[in-house]
């Protein structure tokens, strides 16, 4: 996809003709010597790293994915589930852009549910409980099929950086075993591994993820790079042995009869589906937690990092909502061939003895045996405001950060950043402009814009309420929004392209027909003097496109592509609301089109307070629209900035 | 997002505030001509000749004449701002000028920020100032304006009135958002009944605040009250009673007041211009005729008319004509004077019986005036009322979006769309008291609901 000329100039001894590369068999370790060179290195093989590495490889770049443990690629370290409200949207978008997460989840999902179906289609969101082991095995298989991708098990000791100050650039990484790997582009996706510190009650130990060793050397170096970083905290609940649970005491929660897949490429989910179960804490549970609250590292002051408020530990819930008599918990099997059960809703860092008592206080869990205790983990995250919208560190050329290290939480948020960082690493290698999604194009755009503009005081999770243009950002049209970009970039496989183009052609054909054909009154039971077009009829509250299914099929001469009718129904039924939102999009675009030159000295603008100038300098917004989203920047300051920019444009019309 | 929408057509009163002989309302922007055409009831095919003054009528929505005005059109780029501009010179009453601006806003113009005409002229290179000075001046204009708004936001009565309403709206938004974003948690989906039970008081609160604008305007500008009646019913006595001084000449010769006499007084702290008029009866001498004509004019101009009847004598044709005329003119009260004498008047509708001679029931009349003008009622009790046209417009927007939301609830529109109406209602409130961000809503949710699995 990308001309390899840049690489060739920098590393003339590397033959960039992929055809002629003799890299041995797929999946085998290449022969690593001091001079080994790649176009892109990805450090960390979690959900962000996998997307980044695969995207780069797919875009034709020689890519290496470096992981501390080959067997734990794409490990689901917390809840073995993909999707959920707003997160399901992210997975759809990853898929529409040619990423892998949706495909993998579809292949290994063991309980699919479409959430929010009592609301309108803009907030429907798919979620799937996944088989944890199969997820990582499937992902590894997918990655190993990529001819341009090498997977290396090693610990990165430090990033190899040349130059000074803002002129720095990355040239590779040094491995702990003494080897070095060269590349002008490095994507760091180390999750919670940097200076990770786990807490279980009073005891603490350093760890990366669930007992894996932390990455301390790299952690120390990232702090030394002069990047601003912060301590965040997250947690996970205990896991139980399913054989020791009295399942008859709980209310079962079944998956959907007709599972909704994540990927536009998946036509059907065929795997065996399981049940989850809903349980409730009791007053006894709350009493145990309250009595032991002083032993919680969250309350004893032992934990410094800030945890997510949307995912509080059970002790937090009990303390903050004392009036709530019971809290819901979900018992979720971790796979088809394991007894391990995830206790969703019981994230905790209480000492083990308290965890045991707390679990036993839940009716049905009296005899449950704990396989692994819950824990809290504190880790280093960088301040993402130091990144561009392309996720590259502003002060170090070629160095990208993606995933949980940027202050987010969730596999989907990580995967999405990984994919965008991969795409932009490839753009960088090819000397092309970064690919930046707008807030009105997808949750992916909102995620990154929020991160680089507002930073993350607590682990950042996506919510639909973060989207100003929620009605446009639906799961049914993620492909319409993003697949054209994937096609342009070369990330879209032939099957997806064919499917997408067929869907769009069908859509156009059906729109023409619905707009121009008057309804058949007998068929719809309407008065004969009332003959609106189908388009107008669809706006009526009682109308639904499913009544026209047979007709539309006949119009097309083939069955409509999955999801097309749903899209059309929304677009006709809520045309008024959608066009209202489109007008707002136009307004946003106009302020986004007002670029702020990179050399603007905010503190020198008369009328802008020092405090606001500092906020602006910290983020260095790229557009006036972005500036207006920085917390604490007032509309007055934006007006002043606007005048100032107008003036400088008049005086120096060449300012870019 | 940016507050400097240079593409908008802006409008402002460009003469100093207060009463002057002439006041100028200025429009600038691409829509100046169509907007002015609506204000002046000019046809779509009206031929605008640049730089030529012409006479036109400022009209109300129904096309009724408000004022005779002189209009000048400046064609882009040969104008102060380099945009199309229309200047309308009205008679200098602040009420007329404000009305012209309000109508222009209804027709699509935006109220200009202070200094905005100059800023446009400058940004378009029309005026050339030393650069540093220019920046400072322009920014000064902007920040002063914002500073004033900010101080109003920080401590003004208006923000105290708006804050609870805004909180109610944010509560409602958070409730709906929580139902969407945390549907898989233990959070209930709010029912239509619950949404309406929160929406209705909120809408009522905003509506009342908006309605206080009329009062706010009264406080600033006062109102005029014309006293009319046929000769010798005691108009001037009543006028004097209300003013508590002998201002007009009172005799019992019919037709003593031959011209309108006006005097300023205060009622509940509101400045009122009382206008005593010549008695109205069919054709007498030319001087009296002129006076009568002026009486009619005063009725047409006044914010409130008191039609005075003589309770001690039967209703005449003149009385009947006058009552009909008053009904056509707008707000009026019927006052029956001489209630201390035996009643001989058969007028059956509601009236306020007073005696200007004894002062009987005068207090009831004052109260009736206060009530009908919205003074001394609900607004006078409450500390905050709005005086700015900008605020009034923003609140009107809020009400209209809440009305749409109400309809959407009744139609069963999904919540994520309904929220569009609520956010649209929130934005104008934000414009007064500062922005509400997505994080504010989330903070609200996290502090209200126990979220998280």
Q: So what's the pLDDT on residue B280? A: 74
Residues A492-505: tens digit of each pLDDT? 999 999 999 999 99
| A88-132 pLDDT per residue, tens | 999 999 999 999 999 999 999 999 999 998 888 889 999 999 999
**Dist CA B321 CA B38 (whole Å):** 34
The predicted pLDDT at position B116 comes to 74
Q: Give the distance from residue A462's alpha carbon to the nearest chain B alpha carbon, in angstroms.
A: 9
Residue contact A310–B446, C-beta within 8 A: yes
Q: Is the peptide bond before A291 cis (omega within 30 degrees of 0)?
A: no
Task: Sort out which chain A residues have CB atoms less than 8 A from B453's CB and list them.
Answer: 79, 311, 328-330, 344-345
> Which segment, A209-218, A244-253, A638-647, is predicted with the most confidence on average?
A244-253
**B149, closest residue in chain A (CA to CA):** A636
The SS3 assignment for A376 reads: strand
ipTM: 0.85
| Mean pLDDT, rounded, for A3-8 | 36
Interchain CB distance below 8 Å, B415 and A628: no
Cβ atoms < 10 Å from Cβ of B61: 9
Instruction: Say if B225 falls within a structural domain.
Output: yes
pLDDT band, very low/low/confident/very high, at B147 (cuts 50, 70, 90): very low
Structure tokens at A519: 């309804």
Question: How far off is chain B from A467, nearest CA to CA, in Å?
Answer: 8
Torsion of CA B118, B119, B122, B126, to 10 degrees: -50
Candidate from B125, B189, B442 with C-beta closest to A465:
B442
Give CA separation, A627 vs A499, A612, B423, in Å: 39, 10, 21
Same domain, B333 and B441: no
CB spacing of A580 vs B420 below 8 angstroms: yes
| Distance in Å, alpha carbon of B397 to nearest chain A alpha carbon | 15
Looking at the predicted structure, is the pLDDT value of residue A35 above 90?
Answer: no
Among candidates A85, A119, A321 on the partner chain, residue whose Cβ is nearest the Cβ of B414 = A119
pLDDT at B114: 64
Residue B432 lies in a domain: yes
- Two structure tokens written together for A416: 């999405």
Sort out which chain A residues have CB atoms less than 8 A from B397's CB and list them: none
pLDDT tens digit string along A542-601? 889 999 999 999 999 999 998 899 889 999 988 989 998 888 888 778 778 888 998 889
Whether A187 contacts A426, CB under 8 Å: no
Most confident stretch, A28-37, A508-517, B37-46: A508-517
Q: Is the pLDDT of residue B20 over 90?
A: no
At B382, the pLDDT band (50, 70, 90 cuts) reads very low
For residues B236-258, give the mean pLDDT: 62
Average pLDDT, chain A: 89
Interface contact flag, B435 A635, Cβ < 8 Å: yes
Model pLDDT, residue B266: 63
Q: How many CB atoms lie within 10 A of CB A124?
A: 21
Supply the pLDDT for residue A215.
Answer: 87
In sequence order, what E strands does B106-219 have? 110-111
CB proximity list for A234: less than 8 A, separation 6 or greater: A78, A192, A307, A308, A311, A376, A377, A379, A409, A459
Nearest-by-Cβ selection for A643 from B119, B146, B450? B119
What's the pLDDT tens digit per position in A321-330?
898 999 999 9
What CATH number did the domain enclosing B352 receive? 3.40.50.300
Q: What's the CATH code of the domain at B49? A: 3.30.1360.120
Nearest to A392 by CA among A545, A626, A186: A186
Of B411, B428, B450, B435, which Cα lies nearest the Cα of B195?
B411
Confidence of residue B244 (pLDDT cuts 50, 70, 90): low
Q: Which residues of A312-332 are buried (b: 16+ CB within 10 A; e: fewer)?
A: bbbbbbbbebeeeeebbbbbb
- According to the model, what pLDDT value does residue B16 have? 60
| Nearest neighbour of A321 by CB, restricted to B136, B416, B450 | B450
B116 and B190 in a single domain? The answer is no
Name the percent of chain A lying above pLDDT 70.
Answer: 93
Whether the CB-CB separation of B303 and B320 falls below 8 Å is answered with no
Locate A23 and state its tokens: 């890299």
Per-residue pLDDT of B340-373, as tens digits, reads: 888 888 887 888 999 988 888 888 888 888 788 7
Long-range contacts of A559-565, Cβ-Cβ distance < 8 Å, separation of 24 or more: A560/A506, A560/A510, A561/A499, A561/A502, A561/A503, A561/A506, A562/A264, A562/A267, A563/A264, A563/A476, A563/A503, A564/A503, A564/A506, A564/A507, A564/A510
Q: Given this model, what pLDDT does residue B62 score? A: 78
Task: Please name the residues in contact with B427: beta carbons below 8 A apart, sequence gap of 6 or more.
Answer: none
Q: Which residue did the predictor score with more confidence, A633 or B215?
A: A633
At residue A166, the pLDDT reads 83
Of B131, B184, B438, the CB nearest to A85: B184
Query: Which residue among A311, A465, A625 sits closest to B452, beta carbon to beta carbon?
Result: A311
Per the CB < 8 Å rule, is B131 touching A647? Answer: yes
Domain termination site, one of B346, B379, B412: B379
Question: Rounded to a whole number, what is the distance in Å from the CA of B329 to chain A's nearest CA?
Answer: 41
pLDDT of A19 higher than 60: no
Residue A302's pLDDT band (cuts 50, 70, 90): confident
Confidence (pLDDT) at A8: 34
The pLDDT of residue A12:
32
Q: What angle do CA A309, A315, A317 make, to 5 degrees?
A: 50
Average pLDDT over every residue of A527-544: 85
- Is residue A18 within 8 Å of A62, Cβ to Cβ? yes
Partners of B435 on chain A (C-beta within 8 Å) are 635
Q: What is the pTM of this model?
A: 0.78
Q: What is the average pLDDT across B436-450?
A: 75
How much is the average pLDDT of B138-146?
Answer: 42
pLDDT of residue A652: 57
Question: Which residues of chain B make contact with A642, given a CB cutoff of 8 A?
Answer: 2-4
In this complex, which of B143, B416, B437 lies closest to A119 when CB atoms are compared?
Answer: B416
User: B208 and B226: one domain?
Assistant: no
Q: What is the DSSP letter of B343?
A: P
CB within 8 A of B286, min separation 6: which ones? none
pLDDT at B153 over 50: no
Residue A1 confidence (pLDDT):
40
The reply to whether B352 and B225 lie within a common domain is yes
Q: What is the pLDDT of residue A389?
A: 96
Q: How big is the A-B interface in CB pairs under 8 Å?
A: 158
Domain boundary among B318, B347, B379: B379
Domains in chain A (CATH in brackets) are: 37-232+380-488 (3.50.50.60), 236-379 (2.40.30.260), 496-583 (1.10.10), 594-651 (1.10.150.570)
- Per the model's pLDDT, the better-predicted residue between B288 and B339 turns out to be B339
Give residue A21's pLDDT band: very low, low, confident or very high (50, 70, 90).
very low
Which domain CATH number covers B204?
1.20.120.430
**pLDDT band at A435; cut points 50, 70, 90:** very high
Which helix or strand (DSSP H or E) is residue A401 part of? strand A399-401
Determine, yes or no, domain membership for B444: yes
User: Which residues of B fall within a CB distance of 8 Å from A627?
Assistant: none
Same domain, B228 and B359: yes
Question: For the segment B269-313, what is each residue's pLDDT rounded down to a tens digit?
Answer: 566 777 777 777 776 666 667 777 777 777 777 888 889 999 898
Q: Are residues B166 and B66 in the same domain?
A: no
**Total tally of structural domains belonging to chain B:** 3
Is B159 a residue whose pLDDT tops 80?
no
Tens of pLDDT, residue by residue over A338-357, are: 999 999 999 999 999 999 99
Range of B237's domain?
A: 221-379
Phi then psi for residue A124, to 5 deg, are: -70, 140
| B137 located within any domain | no
Q: Is B416 in Cβ contact with A464 (below 8 Å)?
A: yes
* Most confident of the ranges A127-141, B108-122, B426-440: A127-141
Decide if B392 is inside a domain. yes
The answer to whether residue B281 sits within a structural domain is yes
Asked if residue B286 and residue B248 are part of one domain, the reply reads yes
DSSP A432: P
Say yes or no: B262 and B239 in one domain.
Answer: yes
Q: Which of B335, B357, B379 lies at the terminal end of a domain, its last residue?
A: B379
Note whether residue B373 is domain-resident. yes
Mutation site for B-interface testing, chosen from A279, A577, A600 by largest number of B Cβ within 10 Å: A577
Instruction: Look at A328 and B451 and tell me if their CB atoms are within 8 Å.
Output: no
Give domain status of residue B178, yes or no.
yes
Of A250, A249, A241, residue with least CA distance to A356: A241
Tell me whether residues A639 and B2 touch, CB distance under 8 A.
yes
Q: Take residue B58 and report the two structure tokens written for it.
A: 């400022």
pLDDT band at B152; cut points 50, 70, 90: very low
pLDDT attached to residue B381:
42
Give residue A250's pLDDT band: very low, low, confident or very high (50, 70, 90): very high
Express each pLDDT in A147-205 by its tens digit.
Answer: 999 999 999 999 999 998 888 999 999 999 999 999 999 999 999 989 999 999 999 99
For residue A317, give both structure tokens: 């819930």
Residue of B182, B404, B417 best to disrupt the A interface, most CBs of A under 10 A = B417
SS3 B21: coil
- Quickly tell me which residue has 């009034």 as its tokens: B392
Task: Answer whether A628 sits within 8 Å of B1, measured CB to CB.
Answer: yes
pLDDT above 90 for A50:
yes
**Judgement on whether residues B355 and B425 belong to the same structural domain of the protein:** no
CB distance A328–B186 less than 8 Å? yes
- Candidates A119, A321, A466; nearest CB to B438: A466
* Yes or no, beta carbons of B2 and A345 under 8 Å apart: no
| CA distance linking residue A93 with residue A87, whole number of Å | 10
CB contact under 8 A, B180 and A311: no
- The number of C-alpha atoms within 13 Å of A607 and in the hemisphere containing its C-beta is 27
- Residue A369 gets which letter from DSSP? P
B210 with B226, same domain?
A: no
A654 CB-near residues (< 8 Å, 6+ apart): none
Question: Which tens digit of pLDDT belongs to each residue from A52-89?
Answer: 999 999 999 999 999 999 999 999 989 999 999 999 99
Instruction: Assess whether B365 and B420 both reside in one domain.
Output: no
Is the Cβ pair A465, B450 closer than 8 Å? no
Three-state SS for A503-557 is: HHHHHHHHHHHHHHCECCHHHHCCCCCCCCEHHHHCCCCCCCHHHHHHHHHHHHC
Comparing alpha-carbon positions, the chain A residue that sits nearest to B439 is A466
Q: B99 and B31 in one domain?
A: yes
């Amino acid at each position: 996809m990308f001309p390899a000329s840049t690489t060739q100039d920098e590393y003339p001894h590397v033959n960039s003709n992929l055809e002629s590369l003799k890299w041995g068999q797929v999946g085998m370790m290449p022969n690593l010597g001091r001079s080994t060179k790649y176009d892109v290195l990805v450090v960390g093989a979690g959900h962000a790293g996998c997307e980044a590495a695969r995207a780069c490889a797919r875009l034709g770049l020689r890519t290496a994915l470096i992981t501390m443990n080959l067997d734990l690629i794409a490990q689901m370290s917390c809840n073995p589930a993909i999707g959920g409200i707003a997160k399901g949207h992210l997975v759809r978008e990853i898929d529409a852009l040619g990423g892998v997460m949706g495909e993998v989840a579809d292949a290994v999902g063991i309980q699919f549910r479409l959430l929010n179906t009592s609301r309108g289609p803009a907030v429907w969101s798919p979620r799937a409980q996944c088989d944890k082991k199969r997820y990582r095995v499937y992902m590894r298989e997918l990655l190993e099929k990529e001819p341009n991708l090498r997977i290396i098990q090693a610990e990165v000791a430090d990033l190899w950086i040349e130059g000074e100050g803002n002129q720095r650039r990355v040239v590779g990484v040094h491995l702990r075993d003494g080897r070095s790997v060269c590349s002008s582009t490095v994507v760091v996706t180390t999750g919670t591994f940097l200076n990770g510190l786990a807490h279980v009650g009073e005891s603490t130990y350093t760890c990366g993820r669930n007992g894996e060793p932390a990455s301390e050397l790299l952690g120390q170096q990232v702090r030394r790079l002069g990047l601003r970083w912060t301590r965040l905290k997250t947690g996970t609940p205990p896991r139980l042995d399913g054989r020791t649970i009295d399942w008859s005491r709980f209310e079962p929660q079944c998956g959907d009869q007709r599972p909704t897949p994540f990927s536009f490429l998946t036509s059907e989910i065929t795997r065996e589906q399981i049940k989850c179960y809903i349980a409730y804490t009791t007053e006894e549970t709350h009493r145990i937690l309250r009595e032991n609250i002083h032993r919680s590292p969250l309350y004893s002051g032992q934990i410094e990092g800030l945890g997510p408020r949307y995912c509080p530990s059970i002790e937090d819930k009990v303390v903050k909502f004392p009036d709530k008599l019971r809290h819901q918990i979900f018992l979720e099997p971790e796979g088809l061939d394991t007894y391990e059960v995830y206790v969703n809703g019981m994230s905790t860092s209480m000492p083990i003895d308290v965890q045991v008592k707390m679990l036993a206080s839940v009716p049905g869990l009296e005899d449950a045996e704990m396989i692994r205790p819950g824990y809290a983990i504190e880790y280093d995250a960088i301040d993402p405001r130091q990144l561009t919208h392309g996720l590259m560190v502003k002060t170090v050329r070629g160095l990208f950060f993606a995933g949980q290290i940027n202050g987010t939480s969730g596999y989907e948020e990580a995967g999405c950043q990984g994919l965008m960082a991969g795409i932009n690493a490839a753009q960088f290698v090819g000397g092309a402009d970064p690919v930046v999604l707008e807030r009105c194009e997808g949750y992916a755009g909102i995620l990154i814009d929020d991160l680089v503009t507002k930073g993350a005081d607590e682990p950042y999770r996506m919510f639909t309420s973060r989207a100003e243009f929620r009605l446009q950002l639906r799961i049914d049209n993620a492909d319409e929004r993003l697949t054209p970009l994937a096609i342009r970039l070369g990330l879209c496989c032939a099957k997806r392209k064919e499917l997408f183009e067929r869907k769009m052609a069908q859509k156009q054909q059906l729109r023409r027909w619905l707009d121009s054909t008057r309804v058949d009154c007998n068929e719809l039971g309407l008065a004969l003097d009332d003959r609106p077009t189908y388009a107008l009829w669809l706006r009526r509250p009682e109308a639904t496109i499913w009544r026209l299914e047979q007709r539309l099929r006949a119009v097309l001469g083939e069955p409509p592509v999955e999801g097309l009718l749903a899209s059309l129904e929304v677009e006709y039924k809520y045309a008024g609301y959608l066009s209202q939102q489109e007008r707002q999009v136009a307004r946003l675009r106009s302020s986004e089109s007002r670029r702020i030159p990179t050399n603007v000295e905010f503190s020198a603008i008369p009328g802008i307070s020092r405090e606001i100038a500092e906020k602006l300098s910290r983020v260095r917004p790229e557009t006036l629209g972005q500036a207006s989203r920085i917390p604490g920047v007032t509309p007055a300051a934006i007006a002043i900035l606007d005048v100032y920019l107008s003036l400088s444009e008049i005086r120096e019309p060449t300012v870019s | 997002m940016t507050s400097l929408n240079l593409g908008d057509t802006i409008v402002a009163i460009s003469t100093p505030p207060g009463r002057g002989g002439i006041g100028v309302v200025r429009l600038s922007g691409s829509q100046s001509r169509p907007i002015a055409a609506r204000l002046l009831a000019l046809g779509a095919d009206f031929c605008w000749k640049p730089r030529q003054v012409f006479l036109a009528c400022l009209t109300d929505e129904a096309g009724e004449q408000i004022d005779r005005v002189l209009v000048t059109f400046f064609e882009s780029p040969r104008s102060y701002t380099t945009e199309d501009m229309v200047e309308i010179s009205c008679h200098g009453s602040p009420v007329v000028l404000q009305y012209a601006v309000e109508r222009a806003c209804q027709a699509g113009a935006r109220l200009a920020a202070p200094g905005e005409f100059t800023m446009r002229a400058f940004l378009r290179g029309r005026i050339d100032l030393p650069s540093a000075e220019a920046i400072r001046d322009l920014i000064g204009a902007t920040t002063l304006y914002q500073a004033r708004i900010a101080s109003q936001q920080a401590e003004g009565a208006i923000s105290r009135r708006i804050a609870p309403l805004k909180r109610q709206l944010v509560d409602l938004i958070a409730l709906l958002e929580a139902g969407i974003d945390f549907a898989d948690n233990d959070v209930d989906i709010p029912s239509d009944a619950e949404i309406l039970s929160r929406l209705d008081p909120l809408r009522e609160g905003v509506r009342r605040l908006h309605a206080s604008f009329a009062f706010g305007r009264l406080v600033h500008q006062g109102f005029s009250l014309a006293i009319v009646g046929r000769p010798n019913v005691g108009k001037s006595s009543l006028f004097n009673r209300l003013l508590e001084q002998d201002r007009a000449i009172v005799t019992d010769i019919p037709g003593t007041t031959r011209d309108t006499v006006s005097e300023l007084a205060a009622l509940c702290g509101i400045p009122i211009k009382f206008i005593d008029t010549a008695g109205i009866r069919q054709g007498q001498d030319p001087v009296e005729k002129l006076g009568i004509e002026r009486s009619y004019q005063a009725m047409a101009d006044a914010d409130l008319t008191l039609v005075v009847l003589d309770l001690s004598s039967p209703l005449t044709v003149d009385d009947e004509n006058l009552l009909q005329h008053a009904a056509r003119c707008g707000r009026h009260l019927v006052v029956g004077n001489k209630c201390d004498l035996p009643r001989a008047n058969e007028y059956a509708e509601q009236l306020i019986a007073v005696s200007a001679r004894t002062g009987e029931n005068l207090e009831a009349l004052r109260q009736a005036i206060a009530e009908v003008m919205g003074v001394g009622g609900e607004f006078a009790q409450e500390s905050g009322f709005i005086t700015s046209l900008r605020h009034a417009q923003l609140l009107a927007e809020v009400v209209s979006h809440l009305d749409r939301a109400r309809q959407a609830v009744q139609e069963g529109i999904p919540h994520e769309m309904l929220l569009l109406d609520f956010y649209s209602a929130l934005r104008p409130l934000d414009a007064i008291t500062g922005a509400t961000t997505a994080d504010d809503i989330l903070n609200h949710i996290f502090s209200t609901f126990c979220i998280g699995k």
